[in-house]
Structure 1
Amino acid sequence: MPLHITPAPASAAELIGQFKLWAGWSGHAVTLDTETTDLDGEVIELAIVRVHDGHVLFDERFRPVHPVTPGAQAVHGITTEELQDCPTIWDRWPAIRYALLGSVTQRVLIYNREFDLRALCRSLDLARPEWFANPDPATNSPSAGDPYSADYWTYGRISDRARCVMESFAPLAGAYSEYHGNYRWARLTDACAQMGVDLSDLRPHSAVGDALATARLIKAVAAADPAAYPWIGQEGEA
């Protein structure tokens, strides 16, 4: 993972309080994770997990437009051949958006929000070109005059509800850069190891495994003692 940095929060109590809020929303917060054909590729596996009880709401694979690269296959073990009989992501888009925009869902929590949301948008572009365009902007009620489709606005709502757990966790990892004036991001496995999260029953580098790991990490941070992170709020004072 390349070097990335996150601004410092006001205090450890404030930061852990955010995790407590996420963990305490019974049924109102979900985690999302994806596996892709490449770092800049399409989503081939996507999972959505309810945070408070770890219930898996969605866990499926998709047939991509382009093949899985050897580098990506070496990480997650998914081959192009295994995906040939899978639906496209557009076929399952109604189920995905329902899981992410259920009537009570308040937050979509992602360990590396930018990566997964970009991959989702890219995959929709390839599976259903022009999915974001209103098919009949002149007369299509209730979107008359709107150049964008209902699916475009749905994706926007998902993006608005999404928060990056990786950015939020970075101060707890403690890798502060005096030069940049903020914190470096930690890998999900490193974050879980630091917080004592048991991953032994999860398949590594799978969408559902990482979505469950993220949910467990959120709950572990929510139970943490702010006093264990005395450096947060004291950055740059040495």
Structure 2
Amino acid sequence: MTITDPARLEDLFTRTVDEHPVQFVRPADTDRPTWAAYEGGTYLGTVNAEPDGSRPRWRVQTTHEAHDDLDDAVRALRRPASWPREREQAAHWARRLLADDSLLAVDVETTGLNNAYAVQIAAVDRSGIVVFNEHVRPNAVLEPAAVAVHGITPERVASAATFTELLPRLTDVLHGRTLVSYKADFDRGVFERELARHHGDPAAAGQWLGRVRWEDAMVPEAVWRGLWSVKRGAYRNQPLGGPHDAVADCKLLLAKLEQMAATVPAPRW
């Protein structure tokens, strides 16, 4: 349930977040949209609703950060005590990547989610220069649900080059590089599937992939944001939030790395 009008909320209400009930209590000395949050009788912290167009922003009082969703504000309140240290580790990871001269952000748009083939492949270097961007004729069914996400139609790729035709350029661009991707196991899996189809040999695909270094940004970014899911016992993965154009998503990923790398370390007492 999305809360669009906090004024309609009661002074005392319960909301289930990640399958765990959280009680919200408005302090008796105010009529402002402010609630103290309790879980299992333990005080988590206080959240305030602030107007922001048609939907409120939920600000965590102790950290002053704002969230679009009340559930995410609760997840921020649930952070383990180790989060500042883990966030700094994620920031250090991002700094290390951005200091790597061989770094490329890579994104692949595909025919679907399962056993997918590429319809667009892009690679962008750490300065934002596009070093590869091609649509790909997949020679496979392009699922309507995938088209609805990225807008690449069968007609758009009907005359595009195949992966086999693009492979020499991809080899020149990618081999010897560090590749960072958002959910790297998915993008790497697409490459592995394409290479196996091209070579007719999974071992040859593995040899090609062994000449690049893959880094996954999804988990470090989830740690950096610190939205703790008690259901999963882990930080909640977030969508990249891009337009599902391979180049634009690569540039957004690099911007996220810059944001993570710029994190000021927490003071050590």
Deviations 1:81-109 (A, max 9, x none): 1111111111111211221224xx3x210
Gaps of 5+ in 1: 133-147, 190-198, 231-238
SS in 1 for 2:244: coil
Match of 2:196 in 1: 125
Match of 1:174 in 2: 226
Match of 1:225 in 2: 264
2:129 counterpart of 1:75: no
Gaps of 5+ in 2: 1-17, 19-81
Match of 2:237 in 1: 185
Amino acid at match of 1:121: E
Q: Which has the higher strand share?
A: 2
Count of equivalent residues: 186
Q: Which has the higher contact order (CA 8 A, sep 6+)?
A: 1
2:108 counterpart of 1:34: yes
Residues 202-221 of structure 1 correspond to what in structure 2 (within 5 A)?
Answer: 204-221=243-260
Amino acid at match of 2:224: L
Amino acid at match of 1:23: L
CA distance in 2, matches of 1:131, 1:89: 16
CA distance in 2, matches of 1:97, 1:220: 30
TM (normalized to structure 2)?
0.63
The CA deviation at 1:171 is 1.1
Deviations 1:129-162 (A, max 9, x none): 5144xxxxxxxxxxxxxxx43x53121232xx10
Amino acid at match of 1:186: Q
Match of 1:135 in 2: none
CA distance in 2, matches of 1:163, 1:188: 15
TM (normalized to structure 1)?
0.71
Residues 47-66 of structure 1 correspond to what in structure 2 (within 5 A)?
Answer: 47-51=122-126, 53-66=127-140
Aligned residues of 2:227 and 2:235 also touching (Cα < 8 A): yes
Amino acid at match of 1:176: W
Deviations 1:24-43 (A, max 9, x none): 22x32111001001112211
CA distance in 2, matches of 1:179, 1:46: 35
Match of 1:113 in 2: 184
Change (3 A) 1:11 1:129: closer
Amino acid at match of 2:238: A
Alpha carbon RMSD of aligned pairs, Å? 2.3
- Identity value in percent: 27
Change (3 A) 1:58 1:98: same
Match of 1:137 in 2: none
Runs of 4+ in 1 over 4 A off after TM superposition: none
- Please identify the structure whose Cα radius of gyration is greater: 2
Match of 1:192 in 2: none
SS in 2 for 1:116: helix
CA distance in 1, matches of 2:134, 2:231: 42
CA distance in 1, matches of 2:169, 2:219: 28
Change (3 A) 1:129 1:154: closer
CA distance in 2, matches of 1:66, 1:179: 37
CA distance in 2, matches of 1:71, 1:221: 32
